Structure 1
């Protein structure tokens, strides 16, 4: 069910549906129908039997009793990357998702991943070098820094790359990228902590301990290193999704350790600039007065 659609005219809704309806990729969820009555709108997607990825990668006593093998974890990461690369390069118009996160990755009966929820997605000509938005969009913990402040760089397909990098780090370690409830304050911001662990241990050991109960072997180490490349603060320093696929399919020993991003804690969003929807962490942030491209 679509919410906050009062400003979306019927014509715009039909245009969005027809565009998403033309997307056909094994790693993008298929739109099978829609319904519009008054201000109420609904999109109907194919049924994904195993739900969303977040139920499987985050430890929970109430979650599914299922643990992916390392090979399957890497396969899922490659599938997600291929889906994002298709959105960026495989369509007539470049589709920027702007909300890549575990909750929006659905799994079919064989646990093959498919990207879902295009509620924040925008379409742009593929030759656009940058994207103009009047509001930032995304979810706290996954939103790229340039969506908060243009001082970090321009908005582009690299904003999705950043979100994917955060997702990779969470897949590798099985924990959320920012957890203020952790007692050890040095472990609060996961990307910074895991970078230090990789640097301190990569020479001594093939396995890197990132938690008291989690040991990352060379395969998961690959996910961490690629994830850290994807979350570089400057968009120009991040790889494209096609490059990410090559890195995921390659050998971990062929990867270079990325520079440490200059953050040491999560990006702080000014309170006067942000709005949190009740019950979730989706973010709308007022930014520069620039006309939004539809």
Structure 2
């Protein structure tokens, strides 16, 4: 179906993705997992979790292959690739394709709805634990779909807190409680934190395109708070229309609420969707997260494990 793996469309620590065509003409993405994935835990995780889902904002798993050490996942094909191609991948075909504020807002809403479905809409609650731009795929209409469930954990619908050995996720998006239980229990609120960091990165990338200012996703919240407190919207967002300003400010305020240090201070994904669809004037400026005091964050970063070659923390 991949014509001897001729058309490579993506590559990462998990393996390589190829474009393929099924006998009925349906175009698909075939993800060949690396042989170094041990006993196949991530593969089984992905099949077990995503096989339970059916939602417009969750990528559709069409099939899989598990033959000896060969493991493949077959997904619906996403013509626009992943979100990271549009927000910070230098040198890519889409690197200079600026997504308008309205499109960014629609993408943020779609991701939120997908996560809300995983947390509340499935028979078994699914916690993703690896929300980042690379794992958000975009169809031809830029409708976002959450993908890559290799690190997901399943839990009973009424349960939220999960037990977990060590850390999982990608540096820069991991909630504080995932790398240190001193911050609280690991739960669906950990995905909320990752979502907040993702949206801030979307806003920061759009700002960088406008001004050429370089802020890492880790430090960007500090700059945002400083300007919000001084009511300097023009510094944060640049020269944009009033309508775009409202969209951008809403995204910023909601995402800042999502990255609160204590899990109990973060909204649920249902509340996030409600806020995204509600009026801007009802959104206050959230407290500044403790971890984003620059000195404190630098100190915490030193004690945090470094990412592995795959970009994940084991």
Please report the TM-score for the alignment, with normalisation by the length of structure 1.
0.83
Q: How is 1:102-121 mapped onto 2 (pairs within 5 angstroms)?
A: 102-121=133-152
Q: Residue 88 of structure 1: CA displacement?
A: 0.5
Cα 1:154/1:28, change in 2 over 3 Å: same
Provide Cα deviations, 1:258-290, integer angstroms capped at 9, x if missing partner.
01111213463556x735332x42112xxxxxx
Partner of 1:133: 164
Q: Residue 55 of structure 1: CA displacement?
A: 1.2
2:260 to 207, 217, 232: 232
Q: For residue 174 of structure 1, give the secondary structure of its aligned residue in structure 2.
A: helix
Q: Distance in 2 between matches of 1:28 and 1:76?
A: 13
Q: For residue 66 of structure 2, give the secondary structure of its aligned residue in structure 1.
A: strand
Q: Distance in 2 between matches of 1:124 and 1:77?
A: 25
Cα 1:125/1:270, change in 2 over 3 Å: farther
Q: Distance in 1 between matches of 2:78 and 2:257?
A: 30
8 Å CA contact retained: 1:5, 1:41: no
- Structure 1: state its 5+ residue gaps: 285-294
Q: For residue 104 of structure 2, give the secondary structure of its aligned residue in structure 1.
A: helix
8 Å CA contact retained: 2:57, 2:111: yes
Provide Cα deviations, 1:6-61, integer angstroms capped at 9, x if missing partner.
2337xx95675254223110000000111112133121111000001111123745
Q: Residue 130 of structure 1: CA displacement?
A: 1.1
Q: For residue 85 of structure 1, give the secondary structure of its aligned residue in structure 2.
A: helix
Cα 1:22/1:196, change in 2 over 3 Å: same
Q: Which has the higher helix share?
A: 2
1:169 to 177, 185, 200: 200
Q: Distance in 2 between matches of 1:188 and 1:139?
A: 13
Q: Distance in 2 between matches of 1:229 and 1:109?
A: 31
- Structure 2: state its 5+ residue gaps: 1-31
Partner of 1:223: 251
Cα 1:16/1:2, change in 2 over 3 Å: same
Partner of 2:56: 26
Partner of 2:236: 210
Please report the TM-score for the alignment, with normalisation by the length of structure 2.
0.78
Partner of 2:4: none
Q: For residue 274 of structure 1, give the secondary structure of its aligned residue in structure 2.
A: coil
Q: Which runs of structure 1 show a deviation greater than 6 angstroms over 4 or more consecutive aligned residues?
A: 182-185, 211-216
Count of residue correspondences? 271
Partner of 2:16: none
Looking at both structures, which has the greater relative contact order when contacts are Cα pairs under 8 Å and sequence separation is at least 6? 1
What is the Cα-based RMSD across aligned positions, in Å? Answer: 2.8
